[in-house]
Structure 1
């Protein structure tokens, strides 16, 4: 490395309980330490949770802090001289944050990032570096939901919000796992879902699900939408021992309470499973990537096309990335 400094984005907060400030910064390149590797970041996506973090939406974020969760890059330095540690140097890797990177440990919106060996996962060949930098949060969140719901080959699975990043990942993973049937539901008609979410949702879901499942209903609902009326309607379509896993809830100063018929819920033996990807460690999210690697290599699950993302330079990432709501990847070159 020709210099000992790097370009980065940095969150600072002068006064507690106020929104942080996001700014460009020149910072020292992290020094490697035992058990860690220095990764040169090639690309890092800006996830909705990154934007929320920049607005002060996570109370456990400490300051000053480099934000950023998902990334792809190359290992450039390790601390140990063991053959196992040295074997990582030069390898292309990818990953996501779990509960630490970008929150209480410096994240990936910088030219370099320090990562524990246990978090290193080699990038599958079918993924470009740009694609690899976009799959972390969506795919690990989807896998978390599906694992917690204990999806099996005997299950009929309904994915709400199937046109979104997490929802589309959940559809692919459920199919890769061999679920008996995977139904898609979304508001966007152009995504060609099995169920277009519009009008009288309760009647619509009941009629369409009975028709699509030959009157059986669904064993599992994966909810990526977080709409209370939709949640109530979808729960009614669960069969005996049904499982409902969700990752989202209404935002802002609105009612977040859900009315539940506990008599029917216990008679059916329903399981309600809130899924939060930020409760996992960075090593645990790495295990999720390893679990999915064979499916990626076999083409059973695929990342979105590079063209679906706007690519911006780090110098422009605050206005052109954090200041937008679309799909953005930061190019660290």
Structure 2
């Protein structure tokens, strides 16, 4: 059975988490491909093809020396690391002849795989992705996987993209504990992809709500006095225990956190982080429209928090829980296996 290559984008942690979960369910042999840190390489449990990080310390050429390329998001001329990455990936494709490449996410990797004669299934993230590079990648893909339910998709999505999309649902395993969490326990979870939250505003919110206990993951402890009702935990590799203890979760609208909140059925205050193509903002708007969460454009000032927490406690957690499908990871792996078999028959 020919293998599947699975490209994993290294911004944030959500791409890595869902790639490992899906790869573990695949029947085809699978190699994860991307830029991995030492911890990821030690915990992977399946073959990896490590690629050098494509982040550049400085521009490779004088500004304005080369015109923009409409079909690509990130291919700066003169970047030797891009040559290294392309050589490693194309060499792996040559040696292993994969039945399929799964790409989560990169326009350039989709096009490189297709130039190497390899069919591609692409992940399609939320947001307004109607720019030429995204459209080129969508057209080059056999199918698109959206890692969220159809209810959270854009309402005005072009018909041809919707028809090519399989909505995988929120890709989180079923929670072993569906208990409602401790009353007035708040978990604030900030992702590795970056946060615009000012620690001082967070401390002020806790000080304004002394009847609640706050636990914060993903933000360093600030200097100065800390209110007695808040714990600053720093980076937490696995926030699941915090989410299980909490009755209310506050965070951005990344796929990973949203999937875990829905799996647990937790009340949710969603403050989307700035992301390209309004990825989190689009999902957050849909959550609010469905009555699944309270959505705010920015972190509120301290006086707003007492009434805001009361409003959040009035949410019906069954609404966000209804977005979770415990079979989503298995179904997605089955779909990918099926695509690999189909393209092998079609293209050889």
Structure with the bigger percentage of helix: 2
Compute the TM-score of the two structures, normalised by the length of structure 2: 0.28
Structure with the bigger percentage of strand: 1
Compute the TM-score of the two structures, normalised by the length of structure 1: 0.29
